[in-house]
């Protein structure tokens, strides 16, 4: 293999450098994608508590809840005045304690999953 690389280098050093660089870059992105996939598929990641830095969109995605449910629960301004807003920014905008906003988001997530599970259990019992 080393002899082939030496032969490629002798024939076209620029192309060989580009090929090696592209290979290293592709390997970097494959490793990065693999790590990201492992983290997102870890169920513990999705079971974490809601925190002040999270945005309604992140909560919606992480806890598998429709975006509108979270937006309604935290009473987020639509459209947001300055782009995406974290729960902390929403609390400041509404002049309420952050604990109230986090509690509202958590209650919405819990209620949504309880309703969904009740719907699934009810349809299973009807059979």
Out of 9-23, 43-57, 70-84, 93-107, least confident range: 43-57
Q: What's this model's pTM, rounded to 2 decimal places?
A: 0.58
Mean pLDDT on 92-107: 93
What six digits make up the tokens of 56? Answer: 């309604």
Mean pLDDT on 69-85: 86
User: What is the distance between the alpha carbons of residues 53 and 89, in angstroms, rounded to a whole number?
Assistant: 9
CB 105 within 8 A of CB 94: no
pLDDT at residue number 111: 93
From the list 120, 107, 46, the residue with the least C-alpha distance to 74 is 107
- Which residue bears the tokens 């002798």? 10
Mean pLDDT on 47-72: 89
């Amino acid at each position: 293999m080393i002899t082939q690389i030496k032969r490629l280098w002798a024939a076209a050093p620029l192309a060989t450098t580009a090929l090696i660089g592209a290979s290293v870059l592709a390997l970097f992105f494959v490793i990065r994608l693999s790590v990201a996939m492992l983290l997102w598929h870890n169920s513990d990641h999705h079971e974490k508590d809601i925190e002040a830095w999270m945005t309604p969109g992140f909560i919606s995605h992480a806890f598998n809840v429709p975006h509108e449910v979270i937006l309604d629960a935290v009473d987020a301004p639509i459209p947001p005045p300055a782009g995406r807003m974290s729960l902390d920014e929403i609390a400041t905008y509404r002049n309420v304690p952050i604990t109230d906003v986090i509690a509202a988001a958590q209650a919405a997530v819990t209620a949504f999953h309880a309703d969904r599970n009740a719907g699934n259990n009810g349809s299973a019992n009807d059979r």
